[in-house]
Structure 1
Amino acid sequence: MQAPELDVTEWFNTDTPLTLDNLKGRVVVIEAFQMLCPGCVLHGIPLAQSIQRTFPEEKVAVIGLHTVFEHHNAMTPVSLQAFLQEYRITFPVGVDKQGAGPLPNTMSRFGMRGTPSLVLLDQAGQIVAHHLGQVSELQLGSEIGSLLTQEVVSTKCGTVTVDQSECKPGSCNV
């Protein structure tokens, strides 16, 4: 399934707003979190930081998505800025736009049910994995490594992903 676009009101740790369309060609890791979520602080954010350190930026983009669905008064942009500095978070972080319902827009569009949530996109912008809660670093690293062996090919009908491990001299299976 093609990932919906992010609906963000403000960005931190980046000079320009990010769009998933602009990140095509890279594997994208979206880590949705809340500042007051213990699982986010103990597991989700450290995992995202580890992925950012492990994989080259030109191949894997790590994005934080601050999704506020409770404790709205405590989770302001000023508080988020202090939180990002305190935890030395350097990857780009967007503030999910509040929706008409109880969940913020991007969280709702992606079908996230809580935090921490991690969504993994392939180089064509397709959702290939969706995790709620603690994710094994080894499992995620394996999923990303597998995606990095694939190549995105544009065709008249759209983009397809080719697994390079299926390539033989002169041809690849789609």
Structure 2
Amino acid sequence: MQKLALHYNNLLKGSFELKKLNFLFVFQVNCPGCFLYGIPLVNKLYKEFQKDISFLGLSTAFENFDLNTAANTKLLVNNNTIIGHTKKALKNQGFDEYPYTIDFPIAMDKIMNNSEDLEKAILHICSINPNYTSFSYREQLLFKAHVKAYFEKLEIISMTFTLNQLKGTPSFILFDDNYEILYHKFGHIDSNELIAQLKSFVKTLS
């Protein structure tokens, strides 16, 4: 079972305490679907499951790096300010700012900024490759060099998003107190299906 590599600096809203069950919502501020669909869904889940599940919303950036920033995330958290494509989408619905509360804690994905972070990232990607340990020493060196070259081509590396090889936003991840990923979905998912999954895990681990 794959472990979640969760990296963030200071929380921008609320507090996060690791529990037996934890729910991670990964979003970008320049992601209309995250706001029209993702946040209302997570608010609903938070209201129903917060006693049994610890929640964290993680603002990240894998594109539009000038918009998907910590500064714009702070504006969202403090003033309900929206930007970019998100602002355009909500303006079409008659809103100049985000019209809903964000009920769950929010943090910003950690940006890789030194050689120590890079080395940890390379080792992590190697560790989640199921064939890595069966490679010869030379093959392992070549694979590590390939991963390093991939990282060095990226303009900005958001560590949680990149190390977990997420497909995009919104992403929804349920994990336990050992950071083992129990459930992972990307994009639009049926809320009833997700609620049923969470109830099942809560019942199993209670």
What TM-score comes out, normalization by structure 2 length? 0.63
Deviations 1:10-45 (CA, angstroms, capped at 9, x unpaired): 311125xx4xxx5132x2111100011111111111
Gaps of 5+ in 2: 81-99, 113-117, 119-150
Q: Secondary structure of 1:138's match? A: helix
Q: How does 1:129-148 map to 2 (within 5 A)?
A: 129-148=183-202
Query: For residue 7 of structure 1, what is the amino acid of its counterpart?
Result: H
- Equivalent pair of 1:122/1:147 in contact (CA under 8 Å): no
1:1-150 paired onto structure 2 within 5 Å: 1=1, 3-14=3-14, 18=16, 22-25=17-20, 27-55=21-49, 57-84=50-77, 85-86=79-80, 87-99=100-112, 101=151, 102=154, 103-122=157-176, 125-150=179-204
The letter for the 2-side match of 1:132 is F
- Percent identity, please: 28
> Any conservation in 2 of the 1:97–1:106 contact (CA below 8 Å)?
yes
Using the alignment, how far apart are the partners of 2:178 and 2:111 within structure 1?
27
Whole-angstrom distance in 1 between the partners of 2:168 and 2:13 = 24
Contact persistence 1:35–1:75 (CA under 8 A): yes
Between 1:137-146 and 1:41-50, the stretch displaced more is 41-50
Amino acid at match of 2:18: L
Distance 2:54 2:184 in 1: 16
- Whose helix fraction is larger, Structure 1's or Structure 2's? 2
Please list every run of 5 or more consecutive structure 1 residues that lacks an aligned counterpart in the other structure: 153-174
2:6–2:160 CA contact under 8 A, matched in 1: yes
Q: CA deviation at 1:140?
A: 0.7
Higher normalized strand content (fraction of residues) = 1
Q: C-alpha distance in 2, partners of 1:51/1:11? A: 20
Q: Secondary structure at the match of 1:6?
A: coil
Deviation at 1:142, TM superposition (A): 0.4
Residue correspondences, number: 145
Q: Determine if contact 1:28/1:120 at 8 Å carries over to the other structure.
A: yes
Q: State TM-score, norm by structure 1.
A: 0.73
Q: Work out the CA distance in 1 between the residues paired with 2:51 and 2:178.
A: 15
> Distance between the aligned counterparts of 2:32 and 2:67, measured in 1?
15
Query: Which deviates more from structure 2 when the two are superposed, residues 131-140 or residues 89-98?
Result: 89-98
